[in-house]
Chain A
Amino acid sequence: MFPALIPLIPFVSALLLMLGWKRLSRIAVTVIGCGSIGLSAFVAVLIAIQFAAGGEQAIVQHAGNWVEAGGFKTGFDLRMDALSVVFVGVITIVGFLIHVYASGYMHEEPDYARFFACMNLFVGAMLTLVMADNLLLLYFGWEGVGLCSYLLIGFWYKDPANNYAARKAFIVTRVGDTAMAIALFMLFQFTGTLRIPEILQSSTHIWSKGDPVITWIALLLLGGAVGKSAQLPLQTWLPDAMAGPTPVSALIHAATMVTAGVYLIARTHTLFELAPDAQITTAVIGAITLVLAGFSALVQTDIKRVLAYSTVSQIGYMFLALGCGAWSAAVFHFVTHAFFKALLFMAAGAVIVALHHEQDLFKMGGLKKQLKGIYWVFLVGCASLAAIPFVTAGFYSKDQIIWLSLSAAGGHTAFWLAALLGALLTGMYTFRLFFLVFYGDLKTHVHHRPGNSMMIPLYILALLSTIAGFIELPHTLGHVTLFSNWLLPVLPAVSVLHDSVAMEWTSQALSAVLALSGIGVAYAWVVWRPKGMSDFLEMPALLWLRGFWSRGWDFDKLYNILLVYPFVYLSRMNKKDLIDKLYTSLAALMQWCHNVLARTQSGLLRWYILGVVLGAVAILSVLIWRIYI
C-alpha cells in the first residue's frame, strides 16, 4: 500500500471531472466525486491499520524528486505517522460524508461537475498538506487548499459579493503564507533542509531554548497558522467565506482546512517548545480569539455566520491548547470539532434548503415539528458544541483544554478564565441559534425535505460526535487515554504542573455549570421571555455594542483604513505612472528646443549674416579671453 495513493486518488478524479466537464452525466460525476474520496478513505484506513500493526515511527514514501538546486533538495515525500493518520482519517471520512451530503445538496446545481472537481482537488491538496514530509510539499498543499477555498467560496461567480469574499479569503491567508514562506527561508538557512523530521531533530542542537532566531521562526510559522486558521489578527476572512455553498463551509471552513494551522503547529511543536515566547503568543492569541469570536457569534443573525464565528472560537481553543503545550488535547478537539461542526453546518444547510435558501435566523423558527430528523441531529450537534457534560464528545475535548489551560506547564489562570468565559458564550450562542431555529412559531413554510443522501451522513456524524469523546477521558472519570497514547510517538505528553483531582473536578464542574447556564440564558432569551429580553437588548448602548460585535469588532474597518484604502488609493493615484512623466517632460523639452532654434531659421539673409558674424565675434573673443585674461 502506498501512502501516495491517498492524495493521488482525489487528484486524479478531480482531473477527470475537469476534463470530463459537461460531457459527464450527473451520476458519473457523483460516482467519481464521492467514490474517489470513499476509495481514498478506504486506502487510508488500510494504511492506518498497516501502520498500527507495523508499529514503526512512520511510513515514508518517496514519490519522486521535485526541486534540486545548489544544495536545496526536496521531493514528493509522503509521510504516515500517528499525527497524519488522525488528520487523514478525519479528512477522508468526514470528507466522504460531506461529499455524499453534497451530492444531495447540490443536485439542482448546473455546474455540478465543477463543484465536485474543486472539492476533490481540495481533498487531495489537504491530504498532501497533512502527509507532507517536507515543508515545501506542505506549502504546496497549503496553497492548494487556499486555491480550492477561493474557487469554492466564489463558486457562484455571478454574484460579485461572493467573488469579493473569495478574494478576501485568498489574500488574507496569503499574508499568513508570506510569513510562513519567510520562516521556510530561515529554516533552510540554518538547517540546510526542509525535511520536517530532520529539522525537528537538528533544531535542538542548533538552537538553545529561547534563541531569538528560533523565536522568529516560530512566530513566522504562527503567522502562517493564524492566517489559515482564521485567528487573530487574520480572522476576518472566515465569516465572509460563508458565501460558498454549505458543504464547502462544512468541509473547508469548519472541519479541515481551517485547522491546518493547528496541524502545522502540532507538526513543528519542537520549534515552539524551543521558543517559549512564541508559544505563549499562541496561547494568548487563542484565548483572545475564542472570547472575541464568542461575542460575535452571540449577535449574528445569519445562521451560517453564527457557526463561522463559533468555528473561529473553537479553533481558538485549539490554539490555546497548543500554546499551553497540550498538543494532543488540541488535536483531540480538532477531531471532535470536525465531527460536530461538520454536522452542524450540514444540518444548517438542510434547514436552509428546506426554507428555500433562507439564512436569516429571525425568519426561521418552529421547525421542530416540520423537520424532526434534522431537529434531533441538530440538537446533538449543539449539545456537543456547547459541551453538555458526560454525553457529548465536545465536552471531553473542550474540558480537557479548559483544565490544561490552567494546570499545564504553559497554562495560566487568565487562560483558564478566558476558556471558561468561552464555555459560557458557547452555550449561549449555540442554543440561541438552536431555539431560534426550532422553537417559537413558524415564520417560513418548509417547501422541501432533505433526502437520504443528505440525512444519512448527518446521522453518522451525530453518532460520531457523541461517541468520539470516549476515546479520551479525564482521569477524574474513567481516565481513558487511547488518543494521547496513540499520538505519543509524535507529540510529547503534556507536562501537568499541579495535578490535583480536586481542582480538576472544580474546573470541570465549573465549565459544565457555565455551559448549562449559557443554555439557560439562551432559553430565557429566545423562548421563555423573548419580549423582555428584546426590550433589554434594544437599549442604545447595547444596540451599538451588538452592532460592534456583529461586525466582528470592526476589524475589517480597521484593516481597510490601515492597509486596503491606502494601497488602493495610491495605486489609483498613480495609475498613469508618475515616472513616465519624467520621460514625457524630457520629450517636451526637446520639442521646446526645436521650436526655439526653428525661430532662428527665419529665412532672412541678414539673420544668417548676423549668425556668421556672431560666430566670428565669439571665436575671436574666446581667443582674446584665453590669451590676455
Chain B
Amino acid sequence: MILLVLILILFFAALLSWIVGVKSHAGSRWIALCSLLLNLGIVTGVWVNHPAGTGRWWYQYRVDWVPHFGISLHLAMDGLSMLMLALTFFLGALSVLISWKEINSRVGFFHFNLLFVLCGITGVFLTMDLFLFYFFWEMMLIPMYFLIGIWGHEHREYAANKFFLFTQAGGLLMLLAILGLYFVHAANTNVYTFDYFDLLNTPMDPAMARWLMLGFLVAFLVKLPAVPFHTWLPDAHTEAPTAGSVVLAGLLLKTGAYGILRFVLPLFPAAAADIAPVAMLLGVIGILYGGMLAYAQTDFKRLIAYTSVSHMGFVLLGAFAFNEIAYQGVVMQMITHGISTGALFIIAGALYERIHTRNIRQMGGLWLRLPMMGSAAMIFVMASLGLPGLGNFVAEFLVLLGSWQANHLLTVLATIGLVVATAYSLRIMQKVFFGPCDRQYNMPDLSGRELVIIIALVIVICWLGFHPQPVLNTSQQNIDYVVR
C-alpha cells in the first residue's frame, strides 16, 4: 500500500501545484518541495526499519487492473528499487530548489511536469508488471518533453523532439518484446499474464529469447544511453533547464540501467550471457568515445552530457560482467553518477544564471570571484574522474574489478578510460575556474539556497566514498538474486 502512496502523493502534488501555481508561485514551489521531502522521508524510513525477514521483497502491493489481459497493478520494493527511489526523491527535491529562482514563467505548470516525471520514474522503479512498466515508461516522456520544450534554451524544440523520438522508438520495440514474452509464456503455460514474477524463467527457445531480449535491451540502451544510440542525450541535456538536466542525467538514464538489471538479465539469462561480450564492448566504446567527445566540447552542459555517456559505459560494462562485485559497482555507479553529474549540471546552471553563457571559451579565472563554487566544482570534477574517497571511485573500481574477471582486454580499455576522464575533467576546471580572468564580472558567490544544495550533494558523495557499505548491503540481496 505504501508503495502506491508514494506514487499518489506525487500525482496529486503535481495537480495541486499546478492549480495553486496559477495563484501563487511560491505556493506551488513549496507544495512540490514538501511532497518530495515527504516521499524522501518515507523511503528513508523504510530503509532504516524495513520489515526484517521478509526476504528480498520488502513490500508488495497487487490489485487487478485489466484482468482481461492479466494486467495487474503490481508494485514491489526491494533494495534496488529502494535505493533508486531514495535517489529519485533526493534529486527531485534538489531540482525543485534549483528552479526556485531560475524558473519564473508558468511556475505551476513547470512543477506539474517535474512532479509528473518523477511520478513516472517512481512507477518505473516500483512496478512488477510489464504492461505497467511500459505504461510508466511512456508516461514520463511527455512531461519531460514539456520540461525541455518549454523552459529549455535556444534549440529546445529540436532537442525535445529528438529525445522524444529516440526514446519512443526504443519503447515501441520493448512493447513488441513484452508482448512476445507474454504470448510465449501463454503458449507454454496457458496463463495470460504480464506479471514479472510469473514471466521469470519462462522456457523459450534460444532464438526467440535472443530477439525478445534485444527488444528490451535496445530500449534500455537508448535510455542509458550507449553508443550508438546516445546522440539524443547531448542535445536534450544541453537544452533542458537545469532541473531538467538534473532529472535527465540523474534519474532518466538510471531507468535504463535499472531496466537492464531488473528485466534483461533475470528474464533472459542465457540470451544475455550470449550477448554479453558485445554489450561490454559497447560499454567500453561508450566510455572512450564519450570521453573523447566530452574533451572536444566547448559548451559546458554539453561537455557534462558527454561525460554521462562515458560514465554510463561503466554501467553497461559491469552489468554484463555477470559477477557480484561488478553488479555492486553498477548500483553504486548509478547512484554516484546521479549525484556527481547532477551537481555538475547544477553548477553549470548556477554559472549560466550569473554570466549567461555556457561557452567555456568565454569563462576562465572565475575562481577569483567564486571560490566556493570553484571548490564545489573541484570536488565533483574529481568525483567524475574517479578520485578515491568520493563515491564514483568505489563504483568504478568495483565495476572494473568485477569486469576484469569477465574480460581482461575490455577492462584494460575501460581503465584507460580513466585517463581520458582525467583529461576532460581537468579541462573543465582549467577553462572555467582557472586561468586569467579577462572579463570583469562582478557576481555573487553561491547564495544560501545554492549552498544548501551543494553541501547536501557534497556530503552524500563523500559519504558514499568513505562508507558505501549501507548502499552495498542494501543492494546485496537483489544482486545475489540476479547473479543466480
Which residues of A does B touch, CB under 8 Å?
Answer: 18, 21, 64-72, 136, 139-140, 143-144, 147, 150, 154, 157-160, 163-164, 166-167, 170-171, 174-175, 177-178, 181-182, 184-186, 188-189, 567-568, 570-572, 574-575, 577, 579-580, 582-583
Contact = CB atoms under 8 A, between A and B. Distances in A.
B434 A189 contact: no
A178 B416 contact: yes
Contacts of A568: 295
Given A167-B430, A582-B228, A160 B436 contact: yes
Contacts of B430: 160, 163-164, 167
B418 A70 contact: no
A583 B231 contact: yes
B296 A71 contact: no
18 contacts: A66-B468, A67-B469, A67-B472, A69-B328, A70-B327, A71-B324, A136-B388, A136-B397, A139-B388, A157-B433, A159-B436, A163-B435, A164-B430, A167-B426, A182-B412, A182-B415, A185-B401, A574-B296
A172 to B, nearest CB: 9
Contacts of B382: 147
B472 A171 contact: no
B256 interface: no
A538 to B, nearest CB: 38
Contacts of B435: 157-158, 160, 163
B388 A577 contact: no
A194 to B, nearest CB: 9
Main secondary structure of the interface of A (DSSP, over half): helix
B284 interface: no
Contacts of A164: 430
A181 B415 contact: yes
B422 A571 contact: no
B201 interface: no
Contact of A188 (B368, B375, B401): B401
Contacts of B196: none
A154 B398 CA distance: 31
A339 B165 CA distance: 66
A300 to B, nearest CB: 26
A174 B419 contact: yes
A579 B415 contact: no
B227 A71 contact: no
A21 B328 contact: no
Interface in B412-444: 412, 415-416, 418-419, 422-423, 426-427, 430, 433-437
Nearest to A156: B434
Contact of B227 (A21, A182, A579): A579
B58 interface: no
A140 B465 CA distance: 11
A171 B293 contact: no
B473 to A, nearest CB: 8
Interface string B145-187: 0000000000000000010000000000000000000000000
A579 B292 CA distance: 13
A579 B230 contact: yes
B193 interface: no
B404 A185 contact: yes
Interface string B174-213: 0000000000000000000000000000000000000000
B418 A158 contact: no
B387 interface: yes
Given A70-B324, A170-B426, A171-B419, A579 B228 contact: yes
B35 interface: no
B347 to A, nearest CB: 17
A166 B297 CA distance: 21
Given A171-B426, A570-B292, A185 B472 contact: no
Scoring B228, B401, B405 by chain A CB atoms within 10 A of each residue's CB, the highest score goes to: B401
A163 B374 CA distance: 15
Interface residues of B, number: 57
B51 interface: no
Nearest to B332: A69
A21 B418 contact: no
B426 A571 contact: no
Given A171-B419, A175-B419, A580-B231, A154 B434 contact: yes
B41 interface: no
Contacts of B412: 182
B423 A171 contact: yes
A588 B382 CA distance: 41
B466 interface: yes
A429 to B, nearest CB: 32
Interface string B293-328: 101110000000000000000000000000111011
Given A71-B325, A157-B433, A189-B404, A567 B418 contact: no
Contacts of B479: 70
A181 B400 contact: yes
B146 to A, nearest CB: 22
Contacts of A572: 296
Contacts of B325: 69-72
Which A-B residue pairs are the 9 nearest by beta carbons? A70-B324, A571-B296, A69-B328, A140-B388, A157-B434, A185-B404, A580-B231, A575-B296, A70-B325
B367 interface: yes
A70 B296 contact: no
A269 B296 CA distance: 42
B373 interface: no
Given A174-B419, A181-B418, 19 more contacts: A64-B467, A66-B467, A67-B398, A67-B468, A68-B469, A69-B324, A69-B472, A72-B325, A136-B397, A144-B388, A147-B382, A159-B436, A167-B426, A171-B419, A178-B416, A182-B404, A182-B411, A186-B404, A575-B293
B330 to A, nearest CB: 11
A68 B472 contact: yes
A68 B475 CA distance: 12
A182 B412 CA distance: 7
A136 B404 CA distance: 16
B400 A178 contact: no
Contacts of A188: 401
Contacts of A577: 231, 234, 293
Contacts of A166: 426
A171 B425 CA distance: 11
B365 interface: yes
A177 B396 CA distance: 14
Contacts of A582: 228
A90 B324 CA distance: 42
Given A70-B328, A154-B434, A181-B400, A567 B292 contact: yes
Given A69-B324, A71-B324, A163-B434, A174 B422 contact: yes
B70 interface: no
B423 A575 contact: no
A29 to B, nearest CB: 15
